[in-house]
Amino acid sequence: MTAAKPKTLYDKIWDAHLVEEAEDGTALLYIDRHLVHEVTSPQAFEGLREAGRAVRAPGRTIAVPDHNVPTDPDRAAKLDSNEESRIQLEALDRNARDFGVHYYPVDDIRQGIVHIIGPEQGWTLPGMTVVCGDSHTATHGAFGALAHGIGTSEVEHVLATQTLITSKSKNMKVQVDGTLPPGVTAKDIVLSIIAKTGTAGGTGHVIEYCGEAIRSLSMEGRMTVCNMAIEGGARAGLIAPDETTFDYVRGRTHAPKGAQWEAAMAWWQTLHSDEGAHFDKVVTLDAAEITPVVTWGTSPEDALPITGAVPDPASFEGGKVDSAKRALEYMGLKAGTRLQDIAVDTVFIGSCTNGRIEDLREVARVMEGRRVKDGIRAMIVPGSGLVRAQAEEEGIAQKLQEAGFEWRQAGCSMCLGMNPDQLAPGERCAATSNRNFEGRQGRGGRTHLMSPAMAAAAAVTGRLTDVRELA
């Protein structure tokens, strides 16, 4: 008997969800969890109605409004302030009820950013397939679930059939060995990876993040890393489940219980890449060399250690020369300027990348005995109503408000500025979100991506700051 061919984690999850696969590689993949939000779903539900189709598995479908909900402390009074947003929120409400899917309305304490509440409620489990009409669905890969974004036509396809027509991606391994130095966090790891591989480095691949530095991250940190797999071009990022994962999942509302938990654990413990499994691409980083990083440009790959300076566009190659020139012009920066000399107007802490309780605790740690600098607008937008409540219970919310932060309701908020939380033209923001694209946080707004600790440090000094040197 010959030994079975070693498989990657991705291979195993893929095989477990194949309904069928044609000879040309076109596959019908079963979807365990479908997350739905108000922006990319209305056209899909409308398509079902027009064709007289039902949702095949409403029990596997979870809807929540997050992208354009107001995050003002008194938001119930603000829901009508934008006509288009109101219509979109009403459409989700109607669609969720008409089609009978799980639903967390805006006034439910469990409401929040779709990628925060999926894990929080125990919907996201190891070995699952998870899709959502949102590219940051990659977040759920932190549980060893194959999770990726899809377009609205595919949302309609999954609603109608609970499957996705797709083909298998290649396997890529990103190995981060060693131990992270003090002051360096999951966000610094993932920005450093993207700086190394580029925003298209993972295109056509599913990334598995491995190595000691990844293993030692909390679930919150792992979610930060997988969340930004898409910024490195990979539709999905994965981390093999382990005790950290199981401890997080155990006891959550929709996690299995009793005998089912035991059965699930037996399978989950097989979910790791086998010794000798083939990866098409391997990238290795040494955690000891990772420093706190910030972005200077308009692509997440434009990340540098905070100790560095704005690069000269001439130092790049090919099409990147022009794009760096354009980025510096857009960002209002000159080559050679020390990153730590860049002053900011706004600090945004939140998003599906860094809006979890651990992120807020990190901010509170940095702010201990410190205040937001006068004149800086600093806002904290918890990722869910439950994160918000927990931070209030731990006393973090009160401390941060006393330190000068705005304390807001849960939602995507200024990560993409679909609600009123936007930058004005030319405004500069230290942001814990995931994209620094032109206009992302508001037309003409300038975004520098960084970790929650680094964003807190920027709030204290009013400029990009090395959190390790904060006096």
**Near another protein in 123-152, by CB under 8 A:** 125, 127-128, 133-135, 148-152
Is residue 437 near another protein by the rule CB under 8 A? yes
For the bound state, the minimum distance from the C-beta of residue 91 to another protein, rounded and expressed in Å, comes to 5
How many residues of this chain bind another protein (CB under 8 A)?
Answer: 77
Most distant CA atoms of the chain, gap in Å: 72
* Site for another protein, residues 176 to 235, rule: CB under 8 A: 199-200, 203-204, 230, 233, 235
Among 261, 281, 312, 371, which residue interacts with another protein (rule: CB under 8 A)?
A: 261
For the bound state, the minimum distance from the C-beta of residue 454 to another protein, rounded and expressed in Å, comes to 22
Pairing mode of beta strands 170-177, 281-286: parallel
86/365 with CB nearer another protein: 86
- The DSSP annotation for 335-403 comes to TT-BGGG-B-SEEEEEHHHH-SHHHHHHHHHHHTT--PPTT-EEEEE-SBHHHHHHHHHTTHHHHHHHT
Contact mark string toward another protein, 408..427, x via CB under 8 A:
--------xxx------x--
For the bound state, the minimum distance from the C-beta of residue 459 to another protein, rounded and expressed in Å, comes to 25
Among 11, 66, 120, 154, which residue interacts with another protein (rule: CB under 8 A)?
A: 154
Among 88, 111, 354, 447, which residue interacts with another protein (rule: CB under 8 A)?
A: 88
Neighbour-count burial of 93, counting CB atoms closer than 10 A to its CB (0-12 exposed, 13-18 middle, 19+ buried): middle
For the bound state, the minimum distance from the C-beta of residue 113 to another protein, rounded and expressed in Å, comes to 14
- Listed residue (411, 402, 397, 410) closest to 361, CA to CA: 397
List the structure tokens of 35.
Answer: 């997350």
Strand locations in 188-326 (E): 205-210, 236-238, 281-286, 293-295, 303-305
46/394 with CB nearer another protein: 46
155/290 with CB nearer another protein: 155
User: Given the structure tokens 């929120």, which residue do they identify?
Assistant: 89
As a whole number of angstroms, the distance between CA 369 and CA 371 comes to 7
CB 413 within 8 A of CB 69: no
For the bound state, the minimum distance from the C-beta of residue 226 to another protein, rounded and expressed in Å, comes to 16
For the bound state, the minimum distance from the C-beta of residue 354 to another protein, rounded and expressed in Å, comes to 18
Map residue 140 onto helix, strand or coil: helix
* Site for another protein, residues 283 to 322, rule: CB under 8 A: 299, 318-320, 322
Is residue 463 near another protein by the rule CB under 8 A? no
Among 167, 179, 284, 401, which residue interacts with another protein (rule: CB under 8 A)?
A: 167
From 5-13, 108-116, 338-346, 439-447, span contacting another protein (CB under 8 A):
439-447
247/322 with CB nearer another protein: 322
Q: What helix, strand, coil percent values describe the chain, rounded to 5?
A: 40, 20, 45
30/371 with CB nearer another protein: 30
H or E element: which one contains 88? helix 83-99
Sign of the dihedral through C-alpha 174, 180, 181, 186: positive
